[in-house]
Amino acid sequence: MSAFLATNMARRKHYILENIRLENAGAKGVAVGKTDEGKTVLVSGAVPGDLVNVLVRKNKSRYIEGDAVEILGKSPDRVEPKCIHFGVCGGCKWQNLSYEKQLEFKKNEVENNLRRIGGLSDFETLPILGSERQYFYRNKMEFSFSNARWLSPKEINSQEEIAERNALGFHIPGMWSKILDLKECWLQEAPSNEIRLAVKDFATKNGLEFFDVKNHGGFLRSLMLRQNSKGEWMVAFQLFREEKENREALFDFLLGKFPQIKTLLYAINPKANDSIYDLDFQTYFGEGFLTEEMDGLKFRIGPKSFFQTNYHQALELYRKTLELADLQGGETVYDLYTGTGTIAQYVARKAGQVIGIEAVPEAIAAAKDHAKLNGLENCTFYCGDMKEVFTEEFLAAHPKADVLITDPPRDGMHQKVVEQILKLRPEKIVYVSCNSATQARDIALLKEAYTLRKILPVDMFPQTHHIENIALLIRKS
């Protein structure tokens, strides 16, 4: 760092930090380097191995945050991003990093969190389970309509009148009212791009109004595309208001052009937000759901259903969860945060009985329906806030668990839930997590009674920093 920059650090909010070598990856995918004085620098817009100049946004006592504004030397692990929208849409932030390095940094993050946050050691790390599909792996995508698309700096600086302002795509990060008009997306296989582009083209040519985000008006609001592993597709629209003639013309056009569409739905949403869970979807064509199959189990997926977005990796995750649980056939298994009961039903065929608990009523209703659909009579599901349901009274009224599986949201488990697990003291705990930091915190609370034996990182989301982890805990004697 130059003497001038060092002297003026404290005075100026933004300044350029020169010649920072980025050596590692940090939380949320940022690249990490150090100043000559040893202060940590967290850099967005670069990859480990780059030599960069950094525009500083925050200068804290322990670290600096900033954005790479010039790449002075490229990392040997850099690759060319495939998507033309890379760096703008906010997704797939690691497209410019080789997949081998992505997996290495993800594995390291899990291990570091368990050691640093959890104070854990002497566990076995199984080889990270990479995704066979590094692109086109998502089975669900959601896109937004806008009549005032995001304009690039080049368009703004041109001072030319922009005639075409309609957009169908993603919200720009940090700019909720701005929608990026997607020309392509590498996350969902064909015909996802083709359907989206056909919708936009038909709507534009026929004068259908795109949603006005700022003034809250228009006709077309959002588009959801879902698929199953058999290549069948669901299309679901949110419309701000009913326009029957326009709606039917658009829907009939899509059904005629794309025979892969097995069901088409819509909901009228005049609300201030575009959340779907309180909307009433109407089925225009088909059954209103898709059927997915996983190793012989069937699941009906509607527009509101929670289902893992990477089908192939989800199947591997469930298989590995069952493998680590090592069920012999007569065990009682508790499945906390069971969701729609996918893991519960996956392990039920090897268990004596499975008891699942989940807070979302719609998810529990789906779990019960799926158990019936799959002929599983050894699954029982309960609905309610985990810390309010999973109590001493509940434990007293149910068989003691031999194995406990838990798959909580990113915030991890409530401390009261951890306390109840310690009272229950099952022989094994299989902890599935999408946030290894909160997982490490929770396992630290359990380590008085349990030993962390193995972990298995599973990459569900290639080209991003996100990583799932399965941990096997064994009760101490």
Q: Which residues are catalytic?
A: 434
Structure tokens at 173: 């990060």
Asked if the peptide bond before residue 191 counts as cis, ω within 30 degrees of 0, the response is: yes
Structure tokens at 393: 């009274």
d(CA 443, CA 447): 6
Alpha helix locations (H) across 374-463? 386-389, 392-397, 415-424, 436-446
Helix, strand counts (H, E) of the chain: 12, 22
Alpha helix locations (H) across 301-341? 311-325
Other CB atoms within 10 A of residue 133 CB: 14
SS3 label, residue 370: helix
DSSP label of 388: H
CB 149 within 8 A of CB 179: yes
- Per the DSSP assignment, residues forming a β-bridge with 472 are 430, 454
CB 274 within 8 A of CB 210: no
358 marked among binding-site residues = yes
d(CA 283, CA 64): 52
- 200: Cβ–Cβ under 8 A, 6 or more apart, which residues? 166, 168, 181
d(CA 117, CA 114): 6
Phi and psi, residue 222, nearest 5°: -150, 160
Match 């007293």 to its residue by tokens.
396
The distance of Cα 53 from the centroid of its chain, to the nearest Å, equals 31
d(CA 260, CA 258): 5
d(CA 193, CA 74): 32
Q: Parallel, antiparallel, or unpaired for β 233-239 and 175-181?
A: unpaired
337 marked among binding-site residues = yes
Q: What angle do CA 123, 124, 128 make, to 5 degrees?
A: 130
CB neighbour class for 467 (10 Å; exposed up to 12, middle 13-18, buried from 19): buried
Other CB atoms within 10 A of residue 278 CB: 10
Structure tokens at 346: 């996956």
Can you say whether the dihedral through the CA atoms of 205, 190, 188, 223 is positive or negative?
A: positive
Residues making up the binding site: 308, 337, 358, 407
Extract the annotated binding site for S-adenosyl-L-methionine. Answer: 308, 337, 358, 407
